Structure 1
């Protein structure tokens, strides 16, 4: 097919963009190109990781698929205001800090101005690249993309509102639906999020200045990540935790290490606190705590939980209802109580990870189109937490193994002892292996430090093996490149074997 045919396909199948359209330019729509009157095999609502996975699987299985995306570009919250921009921002901050701390560039680094808006521009470039790549997926697979808000009007019909002046609402019919609308930050009614000094994890990325101080209410994954980022920018950070420890699902040793390093960086952590009220004032925000404390800062970042995006989907028209957190209940095949309506990703809750959401979408679409599937998420899903230093874990922790009465042992590798860490200067951190004392089977992997989210996958590959292949002996008997961070596995394995009596 020549160039003219390729452009024709773009106009018909992806209605939101023209070739090489700049990221911030207006979208182009031609609703006449949408086959509104046809009954499709599958309509997917939401183009985040779960929706993309579902759409690609259905399209590659030969189904006729329409993607409905509320936002002006594909990619969902993951691409536009959550995972990608926040991790790109973190990378930009860390790279600048490394430059400043390198004695070779000490004099030049003094002239580098590090501001929040400047660093956000780096994130915008990454978002643009991600959007263009994901658009290409829909083009190559001949998937129609409709931009607008979809809501059910009956079990096999959704109405699409494009929010454009003079544009009539149109309807799409399908045999199967896959809801992948994601989630949004939880906003209590008594907090004024319209105030420019009060932000959540979506709106913090539109902050147009570097504050002198910030209070982060909520010390979950998002709260801890932003605490690291803002502190590395030189901002005074108050981290308010409603629980008694940080990220309680992690291994205790990792929790202690995270708390120590956040405090060492200058973050003030307050555990076991709950807010009484949030009071915006002329020069900041005052958080009144039930304990009687008052914390004043330039900006408040509310990072206390998320809610599924189901409130305006017309669920009442199809006999469905979300729970108190806006999430839909599904079975092992991701079917709701209406078997032809599936739900995947953050809108169904745990594990609420982009990686797992993509797989959920693929599995749901496979069953929707083919009628059968034996696919399911792996039992052990790695967590990646992008604090500074980074955290990643897989499998059970010491607390869980002790409660279960499992005879385990521990192998450590401290990064400061690794040649590669010494070369890069990233010596903070460790790799921790938990293994069965008798069989040497690997039961848990916990990593804290530079590249932790990458390092954990080496152990994941071994943990997924059966029998003798999933033991500490693999790391002892394998030759690793030197110097590498992967060598931490050999060091940790030898350390663990030396503990056996």
Structure 2
């Protein structure tokens, strides 16, 4: 039997970061991956493919230049699904090559096959050729990720009625599409296809979308979507999805409304890929969505020596946070000291336009009873915004009236997922509004919106009667 200090099941963001961290600490590490190539959902069907698709769509359509040249402007007049896949395959090959090299240079062993527990410290791995091996581990990390939720009443056919994995394999771009689910994945794909001039309708049973995002940002985002003729239907569940003899899809809503489109994308949730792990053998039980409960500080499960990280543990289900979770879990598993993660992490939604947020929303600040003030900057107020032809996008910051510290930063618009890191740093360093007022930002940049929003809040709050250097001190 093969014996290792640390065995990782899954090679997505959490798994690969954990494996490399443990290897750098001198441990004997094995990664078990059931896919034919390393990378997990993040590389092959999730994060990297969807973001590559987005970037390709924006480039080929000339989306970013339409502020100058009009909505009819195109870089490529006839865009086909193959145009999108060409860049996607190049990107995926590069990601896999980088990951394979990282494993190789850190001496991380790999094994292809499906893993299942025999007992808390023993795993059985069935390879594609039917060979079965047993592996013993001092500690195990489950980083198996998730797969799309596929309810029985949706007649998925892989061509016209698809889940969020299958959408990457389409042969032709649809002229019309119904997206069921206004979560992160549904909204990302809905806006990407809208940018490709597909007529998109989004159906969501809740009364709004992206409830964890600041309400003002969601309102601005929704306005931008409706302004380009996307249909947003909230508060309605889907009763039935059918494929008509003509090939079109028919979607019947709870209120009797009928929608027709060339394609239906079902993107209403994901489930943990834990069903093949035989968790009962090690004393673990997954919840109804296949997720594993863990200690939020160490990511150890209820069974000592077994850890879980990434999407399989639930919210926030981000590649960035999954990597950090994997690193923390690996250090704890091998007995290495680990610092607590920073209080605030950024959340990025790669829709068109982007949304990114860090810290408290205005609604959360109100619930906590914190006296506050907001500062807002519209991208059109910046010179860089004019140069880029932006007529939308905004940055919002929330400050405590008592301490003047930044409580949250929320952005919708071009480059939001890059810009948010300035606010993230100030949040975690306990910075105040004076940082933005007294600091110098490159000109012209979109980052100048921080200064504009800071001045907006500062003018509303009133000047702090202290010396600048005192106002900028960071409290412990």
TM tier, smaller: over 0.9
* Displacement after TM superposition at 1:427 (Å): 3.5
| Change over 3 Å in CA distance of 1:108–1:254 after alignment to 2 | closer
Name the counterpart of 2:135: 172
Match of 1:291 in 2: 255
Shift of residue 79, structure 1, vs aligned partner = 0.6
**In the alignment, is the contact (CA less than 8 A) between 2:60 and 2:75 conserved in 1?**
no
Are the equivalent residues in 1 in contact too, given 2:344–2:427 (CA < 8 A)? no
Describe the SS at the equivalent of 2:332. helix
TM-score (norm 1): 0.88
Query: Once structures 1 and 2 are overlaid, which stretch shifts more, 118-127 or 296-305?
Result: 118-127
Match of 1:5 in 2: none
Specify which of 123, 126, 146 is matched with residue 91 of structure 2. 126
In 2: Cα distance, 1:403 partner to 1:154 partner? 46
Structure 2 equivalent of residue 321 of structure 1: 285
Q: Which runs of 5+ in 1 are unaligned?
A: 1-36
Once residues 289 and 357 of structure 2 are traced to their aligned partners in structure 1, the CA distance between those partners, rounded to angstroms, is: 26
1:499 deviation in Å? 1.3
1:192 and 2:168 matched: no
**In the alignment, which of 178, 183, 192 is matched to residue 220 of structure 1?**
183
SS of residue paired to 2:26? coil
In the superposition, relative to structure 1, how do residues 292 and 440 fare at CA in structure 2: closer, same or farther (>3 Å)?
Answer: same
Pairs aligned (count)? 459
User: Cα distance, 1:239 vs. partner?
Assistant: 0.3
TM-score, normalised with respect to structure 2 = 0.93
Work out whether residues 2 and 134 of structure 2, in 8 Å CA contact, stay in contact via their aligned partners in 1: no
What is the rounded CA distance, in whole Å, between the counterparts of 2:25 and 2:186 in structure 1?
Answer: 40
Match of 1:302 among 263, 266, 269: 266
Q: Corresponding residue for 2:5?
A: 41
Task: Choose which of 312, 331, 334 in structure 2 pairs with 1:347.
Answer: 312
- Aligned with residue 330 of structure 1, among 278, 286, 294: 294
3-state SS of 2:285 partner: coil
Residue in structure 2 matching 1:488, options 449, 454, 463? 449
Q: Does 1:465 align with 2:429?
A: yes
Q: How far apart, in 2, do the equivalents of 1:418 and 1:366 lie?
A: 44
1:67 has 2:28 as partner: no
Q: Distance in 1 between matches of 2:95 and 2:32?
A: 18
Paired with 2:126 and 2:207, the residues of 1 have a C-alpha distance of: 45
Q: 1 CA distance for matches of 2:160 and 2:359?
A: 40
d(CA) in 1 for partners of 2:43, 2:442: 34
State the secondary structure of the residue aligned to 2:62.
helix
Q: Do the aligned partners of 1:435 and 1:472 also contact (CA within 8 Å) in 2?
A: yes
CA contact (8 A) 1:115 1:233 kept: no
Shift of 1:440: 1.2
Query: 5+ residue gaps in structure 2?
Result: 463-476
How far apart are 1:290 and its partner, in Å? Answer: 1.4
What is the aligned-residue RMSD (CA, Å)? 1.8
Q: 2-side partners of 1:461 and 1:487: how far apart?
A: 16
* Aligned pairs for 1:133-212 within 5 A: 133-164=98-129, 167-212=130-175
Structure 1 residues 406 and 104: CA distance shift in structure 2, 3 A: closer
Does 1:356 pair with 2:321? yes
Show the 5 A alignment for 1:22-61: 37-61=1-25
Displacement of 1:116: 2.7
Give how far 1:131 is off: 0.7
- For 2:289 and 2:264, how far apart are their aligned partners in 1? 23
Q: Contact 2:141/2:306 (CA < 8 Å) preserved in 1?
A: yes
List per-residue Cα deviations over 1:286-334 (Å, max 9, x = no partner): 1221111111111110010110110110111112110001001112311
Offset of 1:258 from its aligned partner? Answer: 1.0
Q: CA deviation at 1:118?
A: 1.2
* Structure 1 residues 246-257: aligned runs within 5 Å: 246-257=209-220
Q: Which residue of 2 aligns with 1:236?
A: 199
